[in-house]
């Protein structure tokens, strides 16, 4: 093909190109509009929920409501003292079981397991187990503990919730430990320290922010769980009365209140919901503010034309 031929041909093809740019840019704008609507459709419910919780929940909030024990519905006085107390106890016990296992598991994955097949399998099963329907964990704790002991106990609830907590803690601990530069470990080894001491004294303390982040997020996740508590701690109208009897918890109390057809119950339900949401969001925002500031938005680099 000669030069002029080619010139001509290219001109022909260019002429065939439709000047559809304007239309395509319009389509682009419509798509952008659509995705903005998508975001709104997710954000609006969030704001609506939080707004309702504040609007309907604030009137219920007072000292008596937060610390008293639940009276009979209809008497006009409902309190969530036992529920708050129960949630605190259950989170403490859950952490007692879940944190050591989670942190040690994280240490194993990061410091010992590395990329071995076994470690990979553990990582995989932890990720999968994290997503297991939580009510199944409740059934298990009921069968294994409540049925064996013959009474509902806060321990059963704590064990069920620890199953949710430990994989989260393990995976986040692993991530945090991996961020600690290898030289720290080498420096420790050069001093003749044993690996246990290096891990516990040097590596762990270097990664404490990351670990704490994971721990707090797992607590916020566990604190809102309801389903596994139904058949393990049952719920109660009185303050904590020992490890051999049923206990109350905030999310459980919210559910029970929602089942009652009285206005006071509904208002109290929103009060309890607001309390729970405040606790959980405080943890989230706190973690965000104190720990994740510099790390945030890491994934956003190098994106698209602005």
Partner 1 sequence: MSTVMTDRSATITTIDKPQTRYKMRTENINIYYGKTHAVQDLTLAFPEKSVTALIGPSGCGKTTYLRCLNRMHDMTPDAKVEGRVLLDGADLYDKRIDPIYHRRKVGMVFQKPNPFPTMSIYDNVVAGVKLNGVRNKDILDEIVEDCLNMAYLWEEVKDILKKPAMELSGGQQQRLCIARALAIQPEVLLMDEPASALDPIATQKIEETIEELKKDYCIIIVTHNMQQAVRCSDYTGFMYLGKLVEHGKTKQVFERPVDKLTAKYVQGQFG
Partner 2 sequence: MAKQWFKRDEKEKKSLLSDKIFKFAAAAAGAYVLAVILIIVLQLGIESMPIWEEEGIGFITGTDWNPVPGRESFGAFPYILGTLITSAIALAIGFPLSIGIAMLVMIIPKKIGQPLGYLVELIEAVPSVVFGLWGLFVFRIYFRDLVEKPLHDMFGDSIFLFGGTPFGLDIMTASIILAIMIIPTISSISREVMMAVPQQQREAAYMLGSTTFEMFRMAIFPYSKTGLLGASMLGLGRAVGETMAVTMLIGNTTGLRAIPQSLFDSSQTMPSIIANEFIEASPVSLHPAALVGIGLILLAVGLSINVAAHFLVARMVKVNEGPIH
- Binding-site partner at residue 167 among partner 2, partner 1, none, CB < 5 to 8 Å by type: partner 2
Q: Other CB atoms closer than 10 Å to residue 221's CB: what's the count? A: 17
Interface of this chain with partner 2, residues 111 to 170, rule: CB under 8 A: 111-114, 118-119, 121-122, 124-129, 131-140, 142-144, 163, 166-167, 170
Distance of CA 28 to the CA centre of its chain: 35
Say whether residue 42 binds partner 2 (CB under 8 A).
yes
Count the residues of the shown chain that bind partner 1, applying the rule CB under 8 A: 21
- Binding-site partner at residue 72 among partner 2, partner 1, none, CB < 5 to 8 Å by type: none
Query: What tokens were used for 252?
Result: 């459980």
Say whether residue 16 binds partner 2 (CB under 8 A).
no
Can you tell me which residue has the tokens 């610390």? 67
Q: Helix (H, G, I), strand (E, B), or coil: what is residue 9?
A: helix
Nearest 10 degrees: CA dihedral of 75, 81, 82, 85? 180
Among 8, 9, 112, 181, binds partner 1 (CB under 8 A): 9
Q: What is the closest distance, in whole angstroms, from the C-beta atom of residue 297 to partner 1 in the complex?
A: 11
Binding mask 10-49 for partner 1 (x = CB under 8 A): x--xx-xxx-xx--xx------------------------
Binding mask 238-267 for partner 2 (x = CB under 8 A): -------------x--xx--x-------x-
- Binding-site partner at residue 293 among partner 1, partner 2, none, CB < 5 to 8 Å by type: none
Binding mask 263-302 for partner 1 (x = CB under 8 A): -------------------------------------xxx
> Which of 280, 282, 245 lies closest to 82, judged by CA?
245
Query: What tokens were used for 274?
Result: 């607001």
d(CA 272, CA 267): 9
Q: What is the closest distance, in whole angstroms, from the C-beta atom of residue 15 to partner 1 in the complex?
A: 10
Q: For 143-150, which contacts have Cβ atoms below 8 Å and span 24 or more sequence positions?
A: 145/232, 146/231, 146/232, 149/244
Q: What is the closest distance, in whole angstroms, from the C-beta atom of residue 181 to partner 1 in the complex?
A: 24
Percentages of the chain per state (helix, strand, coil), in multiples of 5: 75, 0, 25
Say whether residue 303 binds partner 1 (CB under 8 A).
yes
> Which of 239, 240, 250 lies closest to 83, judged by CA?
250
Say whether residue 28 binds partner 2 (CB under 8 A).
yes
């Amino acid at each position: 093909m000669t030069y002029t031929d080619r010139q001509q041909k290219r001109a022909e093809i260019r002429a065939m190109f439709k000047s559809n740019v304007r239309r395509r840019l319009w389509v682009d704008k419509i798509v952008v509009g659509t995705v903005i609507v998508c975001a709104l459709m997710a954000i609006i419910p969030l704001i609506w929920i939080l707004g309702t919780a504040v609007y309907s929940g604030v009137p219920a909030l007072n000292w008596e409501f937060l610390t008293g024990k639940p009276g009979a519905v209809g008497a006009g006085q409902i309190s969530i003292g036992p529920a708050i107390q129960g949630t605190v106890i259950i989170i403490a016990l859950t952490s007692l079981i879940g944190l050591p296992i989670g942190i040690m598991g994280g240490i194993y994955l990061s410091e010992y397991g590395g990329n071995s097949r076994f470690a990979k399998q553990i990582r995989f099963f932890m990720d999968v187990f994290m997503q297991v329907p939580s009510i199944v964990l409740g059934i298990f704790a009921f069968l294994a503990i409540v049925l064996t002991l013959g009474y509902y106990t806060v321990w059963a609830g704590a064990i069920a919730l620890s199953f949710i907590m430990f994989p989260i803690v393990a995976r986040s601990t692993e991530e945090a430990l991996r961020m600690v530069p290898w030289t720290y470990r080498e420096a420790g080894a050069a001093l003749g320290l044993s690996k246990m001491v290096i891990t516990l004294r040097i590596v762990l303390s270097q990664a404490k922010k990351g670990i704490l982040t994971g721990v707090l997020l797992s607590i916020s996740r566990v604190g809102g769980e309801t389903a596994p508590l139904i058949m393990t701690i049952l719920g109660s109208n009185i303050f904590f009365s020992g490890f051999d009897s049923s206990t109350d918890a905030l999310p459980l109390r919210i559910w029970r209140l929602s089942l009652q057809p009285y206005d006071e119950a509904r208002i109290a339900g929103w009060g309890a919901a607001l309390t729970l949401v405040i606790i959980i969001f405080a943890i989230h925002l706190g973690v965000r503010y104190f720990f994740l500031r510099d790390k945030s938005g890491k994934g956003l680099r190098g994106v698209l034309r602005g």
